Amino acid sequence: MVDSKKHSEYWRNGAAEDWEVAQKLIADGKPRHGLFFAHLAIEKMLKALISLRGDAPAPRIHNLIRLAEVAGLQPTEEQLNLLADMNQFNVEGRYPEVLPAAPTSAEAQDYRHRAQEILTWLTRQF
C-alpha cells in the first residue's frame, strides 16, 4: 500500500522548491528556464493532489490538463487555457527541435502571475 500522505508531501515540497527557482530565473532574465520550473511546480502540485486522493502513485506524465483530470479537478476555462499554455514550457525545456522564440520578460511575468494563481487554487484543494 502506498503512503499517500508521504507521497503528497514529497510532491508539495518539490513544488515549493521548483516555484522558488522559477521566480528567481524569471527575475534573472531567464524566462524559458523559469517557465520550465513553473510548469514543474504546477505538475508537482497536481501530483500531490493525485497522491493524496488515491491509493496509487501519481502517473509519470507531464501534461497538466491530463493531470488535472486524474486529480478529479474541474478547472475553469481560463485555468484550462493556462494549463495548456504552460505545457509548451515543459516540451521547450526538453526538446530543442520544438524551440520557439523565448518569451519576452513581460510575457514571462504574465505567465508567472497566472501560474501563481493556479498554484494558489491548487493549494486550496487540499
Q: pLDDT by residue (tens digit) across 98-119?
A: 667 789 999 999 999 999 999 9
* Domain CATH for 81: 1.20.120.330
Q: pLDDT by residue (tens digit) across 67-81?
A: 999 999 999 999 999
Domain tally, the chain: 1
pTM, rounded to two decimals: 0.94
pLDDT score, position 119: 98
**Identity at 53, one-letter amino acid code:** R
Q: At what angle do helices 4-27 and 31-53 cross, to 10 degrees?
A: 170
Neighbours of 4 (CB within 10 A): 18
Model confidence at 93: pLDDT above 70: no
Domain hosting 116: range is 4-124
Q: pLDDT by residue (tens digit) across 48-60?
A: 999 999 878 899 9
